[in-house]
Amino acid sequence: MKNKKIYFSLFALILFSVAVFNCTGSGDSGNFSDAASKVYVAPGSYDEFYAFMSGGFSGQVAVYGLPSGRLFKEISVFSQDPETGYGYSEESKAMLMTSYGFVPWDDAHHPSLSMTTGEQDGRWLFINGNNTPRIARIDLKSFETAEIIETPNSAGNHASPFVTENTEYVVASTRFSIPILNKDVPISSYKENFNGTISFISVDKNNGKMNLAFQILVPGFNYDLARPGKGVSHGWAFFTSYNSERANTMLEINASQNDKDFIAAVNWKKAEEYVKQGKGKLMDADYYRNYFDEEKQMAVSEVNKKVLVLNPKDCPGMIYYLPTPKSPHGVDVDPTGEYIAAGGKLATVIPVHSYSKMIKAIEEKQFDGEIDGIPILKYAAVNAGEVQDPGLGPLHTEFDGEGYGYTSAFISSEIVKWKIGTWEVVDRIPTYYSIGHLMIPGGDTKKPWGKYVIALNKITKDRYLPTGPEITQSAQLIDITGDKMKLLLDFPTTGEPHYAQAISADLLTKNSKKIYELEKNKNPNAVKSEKETRVVRNGNEVRIYMTSSRSHFKPDNIEGIKVGDKVYFHVTNLEQDWDIPHGFTVKGLNNSELLIMPGQTKSIVWEPKQVGVYPFYCTDFCSALHQEMQGYIRVSPAGSNVQISYNK
Amino acid sequence: MSSRSKYLMLAASLILVIVFVFPIWNIDLEAPQYPEGIGLRIWINQVTGEKEFDLRNLNGLNHYIGMKEIVPDAIPELKFMPFILAFFIGTGIIFSFTKNRKFIFVWIVLLLIVMSVGLYDFYMWGYNFGHDLNPHAPIKVPGMSYQPPLLGTKKLLNITATSLPGIGSILIFISVTLAALSLFVDKKKRVGANV
């Protein structure tokens, strides 16, 4: 009897503990069955938004659906992709050419959608290569990389590629200051020899073609992030900088000494005037522009040897410094263009500057000295307010279009919601863990869809099934339609989801390409019908012009190849049907397979080293007889007299 | 002939002009992996896909069952059918101005005969394509033929084929009705005049 009582008490205690634990032990709040229905996209239904997330160190861009968090595609941008042949095929290798040679990887940080009158127009997505300074333009009809331009006089292309209101420019700057032109100097001569640059890359409004319009030479700080103005502040662009100490060693300590660093406010309309007046200097440079010629289905490189550089000393009124506490990281402009919020990663407040106050301060010459010809405006004269208690390590701010800013706080792992104007914090929600950027669909435009905010987290620790030392990074979808933010969904991401953009799906779905028209394929190595297929020897170079269609290659048996030959497979996919790519590979191919879209031609080089018979086959399960889609190549010894022959 | 019947006959003839720009028969195919549909359009002078590349894609699929490729240029009917249609338009216009009811009657009968022959020819075309299969085709289902239905819906392996007259056929039907009406209206009028 007594025992039973004890057992009962124990049982009650356990129940009670479980109940308490359930109430308080989980960091997650909210009703998850309700959350599930908000992110459930029924089979066969479409998501409301496309989200484009940078792959960070993967160098690519991943395409997700929101609110489901489903992954649709990884777009090859800066990194080779053996799955499709990107960066390996003869048609795509040129995309990854730089003045440093072939660089088949990068560190891709900030996707940025093209805009018209400050709203997303669904034409292009830009993204920076941080390591080897580059900017890529992705075509949102084909979801493929269409162009990559290098930026000279730059090292660490981090503050990039944010677009101006009508995509007049994508901006860039150099995170690492360097000698300009780069030369062999002692690193300790940093203060004399090192400078930064800010770049304006124009975008042709008809075809998207990028052109480095001009650069501005700036003091040797570290330029970190940027946002062009919009609405009232259209015509300006804002760049954060840290290391105004101009330290060159142990920046962790030495660049964290000043109470305030600077946001550089650039009047780019004024800069354009100075360019017209001939104030720019043409400097020697060496940088690539690679573009994908869609008609030829082939990347082409051009090398540029000059760049136009403006010096603030010759161009008064073009650039001002706004003092900003402390080592600011992000700089974000609200939908009206009036407020400029800085994420001072070491600051205890979020300083928000006012565009109209800045203009007034410039008119009244409220300066506090100057650096290398750049006037420093007085902090009090430009500051609109400070958000107090914004969490530790505030980095980035996005806006919901309803009068609120949402700032990520890296160190305290949270998103803080604050009110524009009163600068008071109205809500906060934990993130799991160490949030970097955050993103509201359209949250950097004049017209945000203030429905969700996505937290892009650097660390996940215990949030998912562990997969050894390397575990996934993640995104978190948070509902912001109510007064309280509500966590709806966690989902893993490829690479590091550094920053992201999202766009209403209907802006893209209607334009999404289904096939490439064979008739319009101008690739010099294309064959438009099986009748045109052939094998041509020219010395030790053999070109195989072949076709693929369900479920065969033409030709499918090839003889007369010899060890020491350089064999080009030029494969044209004759299909004109949606979602019928064909793959191609041959045994022992040293570079990559090919994935060829309907109507497309791709080429890969093979240098067989051993005598024998080699099968080739289709790698994409294309049809019921996919396994029959194969052929053989006979490789004879060097110097043998087996003639080229093939069946058609 | 009254002016009313003249205009009816004129309308019957002119309406046939529109037949040049609309398909006379539609064959629509549905299959699990073609949620967007795939189809054939048979015009007075051509065979096309419902969408730009449908015919090409159908021919691609058909080789699995050993069906001959549909090559519109190799179908002789498509060459002379436009002339037959032009003949009916021309004679129809002339007959609407001549006051001979017999001619119109013959015109109608002839058009009905041509329609029937055309339909039979179309059936045979479908029959031949569906039965004259390459014996080396990869997919051979014993006893299976792939003749599309003349009218209605039929299941062919994974594909549901639906065959229906197109706007062109409906226009021809309206034309015949109008021509017949022109005779009828005329007769009624004359009866009235006699009273």
**CATH code assigned at B97:** 1.20.140
Residue of B nearest to A548 (CA): B60
> Would the CB atoms of B53 and A515 count as touching at under 8 Å?
yes
Q: Using pLDDT thresholds of 50, 70 and 90, give the confidence band for residue A5.
A: low
Phi, psi of A629 (to 5 degrees): -80, 90
User: Which pLDDT band holds residue A9 (cuts at 50, 70, 90)?
Assistant: low
- Are A283 and A309 in contact by the 8 Å Cβ rule? The answer is yes
DSSP 3-state of A434? coil
State the pLDDT at residue A18: 43
Partner A contacted by B73 (CB < 8 A): no
The position carrying tokens 């958000």 is A387
Residues from chain A that touch B57, judged by Cβ atoms under 8 A, are 575-577
State the Cα–Cα distance between residues A106 and A171, nearest whole angstrom. 18
pLDDT at residue A12 greater than cutoff 70: no
Q: Is residue B157 part of a domain?
A: yes
Q: Which residues contact A184 (CB under 8 A, 6 or more apart)?
A: none
3-class secondary structure for A451-510?
A: CEEEEEECCCCCCCCCCCCCCCEEEEEEECCCCCCEEEEEEEECCCCCCEEEEECHHHHC
Identify whether B62 is part of a domain: yes
Of A515, A550, A628, the CB nearest to B60: A550
Q: What is the DSSP letter of A109?
A: -
Q: Is residue B49 part of a domain?
A: yes
Distance between CA atoms of residues A435 and A145, nearest Å = 28
With beta carbons less than 8 A apart as the criterion, state whether A221 and A261 touch.
yes
Task: Count CB neighbours of A501 within 10 A.
Answer: 25
Which of A301, A554, A326, A333 minimizes the C-alpha distance to A444?
A333
* Average pLDDT estimate for A582-598: 97
What are the pLDDT digits (tens) for A442-483? 999 999 999 999 999 999 999 999 999 999 999 999 999 999
Partner-chain contact B56 A576, CB within 8 Å: yes
Length of chain A: 648
Residue in chain B nearest A579 by alpha carbon: B33
Contact between residue B159 and residue B29 where contact means Cβ atoms under 8 Å apart: yes
Model pLDDT, residue A22: 43
Mutation target among A529, A578, A622, A623 for the B interface, most CBs of B within 10 A: A578
Contacts of A1 (CB under 8 A, 6+ apart): none
For residues A223, A229, A235, A237, the Cα torsion angle rounded to the nearest 10 degrees is: 0
Quote the pLDDT of residue B189.
53
Contacts 24+ apart (CB under 8 A), B93-102: B93/B10, B93/B13, B93/B14, B95/B9, B95/B13, B96/B6, B96/B7, B96/B9, B96/B10, B96/B12, B96/B13, B96/B182, B97/B6, B99/B1, B101/B1, B101/B183, B101/B186
CB contact under 8 A, B53 and A624: no
Cβ–Cβ under 8 Å, residues A610 and A635: yes
| pLDDT value, residue A21 | 41
Whole-angstrom Cα Rg for chain A: 28
Q: Which residues pair with A489 in a beta bridge?
A: A477
Q: Which of B33, B52, B53, B139 to substitute to test the interface with A, most A CBs within 10 Å?
A: B53
H-helix or E-strand spanning residue A216: strand A210-219
Q: What is the pLDDT of residue A347?
A: 87
Nearest to B53 among A549, A577, A628 (CB): A577
Burial status of residue A351 (CB atoms within 10 A of its CB: 0-12, 13-18, 19 or more):
buried
d(CA B61, CA A623): 10
Mean pLDDT over A340-348 rounds to: 90
Phi, psi at A396, each rounded to 5°? -135, 150
pLDDT over 70 percentage in chain A: 95
Dist CA A197 CA A333 (whole Å): 22
B30 occurs within a structural domain: yes
Cβ contact A576–B36 (<8 Å): no
Residues 6+ apart with CB under 8 A from A491: A64, A69, A474, A475, A476, A477
The β-bridge partners of A408 are A415
Is A169 in contact with A206 (CB distance < 8 Å)?
no
Q: Is B138 on the interface with A (CB under 8 A)?
A: yes
Mean pLDDT estimate for chain A: 94
Answer yes or no: is pLDDT of B183 > 90: no
Name the DSSP letter for residue A234: T
Does the beta carbon of A515 lie under 8 angstroms from any beta carbon of chain B?
A: yes
Strand ranges of the sheet holding A236-242, from the earlier edge strand across to the other edge: A222-228, A236-242, A260-267, A319-325, A374-377, A367-371
The predicted pLDDT at position B99 comes to 72
pLDDT confidence band for B4 (50 / 70 / 90):
confident
Per this entry, what is the length of chain B? 195
Q: What is the CA radius of gyration of chain B?
A: 21
Give the up-direction half-sphere exposure of residue A473: CA atoms within 13 A in the CB hemisphere: 22
Residues of chain B contacting A624 with CB distance shorter than 8 Å: 64, 139
In A, which residues are within 8 Å of B60 by CB distance? 549-550, 575, 577
Question: What tokens appear for A403 in the block?
Answer: 């009068």
pLDDT at B187 (0 to 100): 64
Q: What is the model's pLDDT at position A150? A: 98
Q: Is A521 on the interface with B (CB under 8 A)?
A: no
Note the pLDDT of residue A30. 52
In the prediction, which pLDDT does B5 show?
87
Contact A479, A456 (CB under 8 A): no
| B56 near A CB under 8 A | yes
Q: Which letter, b or e, does each residue of A552-585 get, where b requires 16 or more Cβ atoms within 10 Å of its Cβ?
A: bbbbbebbbbbbebebbbbbbbbbbbbebbbbbb
Residue B64 touches chain A, beta carbons under 8 Å: yes
Mean pLDDT of A364-368: 96
Longest dimension (CA), chain A: 101
Amino acid letter at A375? P
Residue B85, in any domain of the structure: yes
Token pair for A215 = 């650069």
CA distance B48 to A391: 65
In a domain, B195, yes or no: no
B64–A576 C-beta distance less than 8 A: no
Place of tokens 């044209």: A572
Number of domains in chain B: 1
Local structure of A314: helix, strand or coil = helix
* Closest of A95, A76, A176 to residue A134, by C-alpha: A95
Q: What is the pLDDT of residue A17?
A: 44
Full strand arrangement of the beta sheet holding B25-30: B47-49, B38-42, B25-30, B159-165, B152-156
Mean pLDDT over residues A509-519, rounded? 96
Q: Which amino acid is at A270?
A: K
In a domain, B194, yes or no: no
Cis peptide before A615 (omega within 30 of 0): no
A-B contacts (CB, under 8 Å): 20
Distance, in angstroms, between A530 CA and closest chain B CA? Answer: 13
Q: Is residue B126 part of a domain?
A: yes
Q: Are strands A144-150 and A178-179 parallel, antiparallel or unpaired?
A: unpaired
ipTM score of complex: 0.85
- A578: which chain B residues are within 8 Å (Cβ-Cβ)? 36
Residue A95 near residue A135 (C-beta atoms within 8 A)? no
Q: Is the dihedral of CA A209, A281, A173, A99 positive or negative?
A: positive
CB A631 within 8 A of CB A587: no
Q: Which residues pair with A267 in a beta bridge?
A: A236
Is the pLDDT at A372 greater than 80? The verdict is yes
Give the domain range for residue B24. Answer: 3-189
* pLDDT score of A252 more than 70: yes
Q: Which of A117-121, A537-541, B188-192 is predicted with the least confidence, judged by mean pLDDT?
A: B188-192
Q: Phi and psi dihedrals of A353, rounded to 5?
A: -90, 160
pLDDT the model gives residue A224: 95
Average pLDDT in chain B: 90
Interface of A with B in 600-629 (CB under 8 A): 624-625, 628
Note if the bond before A551 is cis, omega within 30 degrees.
yes
Q: Which residue has the tokens 């949402």?
A: A406
- pLDDT higher than 90, residue A289: yes
What strands, in cross-sheet order, belong to the sheet with A328-333?
A328-333, A339-344, A349-354, A383-388
Q: A391-415, pLDDT tens digit by residue?
A: 999 999 999 999 999 999 999 999 9
Residue B169 has pLDDT above 50, yes or no: yes
Of all residues in chain B, the percent with pLDDT exceeding 70 is 94
For chain A, say whether B53 makes contact (Cβ under 8 Å): yes
What the block records as the tokens of A484 is 């309280």
Q: Does B57 touch chain A (CB under 8 A)?
A: yes
Q: A136 has which bridge partners?
A: A127, A148
Residues 178-207 of A with CB under 8 A from B: none
Say if residues A576 and A547 touch (Cβ distance below 8 Å). Answer: no
**Spatial distance between the Cα atoms of A78 and A69, rounded to a whole number of angstroms:** 24
Tokens standing for residue A626: 């996919």
A44: nearest CA in chain B?
B35
C-alpha to C-alpha distances, A472 to A54, A408, A461, A464, nearest whole angstrom = 14, 20, 9, 8
Terminus-to-terminus CA distance in chain B, angstroms? Answer: 17
Q: Mapping DSSP to helix (H, G, I), strand (E, B) and coil, where does residue A189 land?
A: helix
What pLDDT does A23 receive? Answer: 41
Cβ B64–A578 below 8 Å, yes or no? Answer: no
Span A600-620, pLDDT tens digits: 999 999 999 999 999 999 999
Tell me the per-residue pLDDT of A15-46, one tens digit each, with 9 for 90 and over.
444 444 444 434 454 567 789 999 999 999 99
**pLDDT value at A272 more than 90:** yes
In this prediction, residues A319-325 reach a mean pLDDT of: 96
CB contact under 8 A, B57 and A550: no
The 10s digit of each residue's pLDDT in B111-157 is: 999 999 999 999 999 999 999 999 999 998 888 889 999 999 999 88
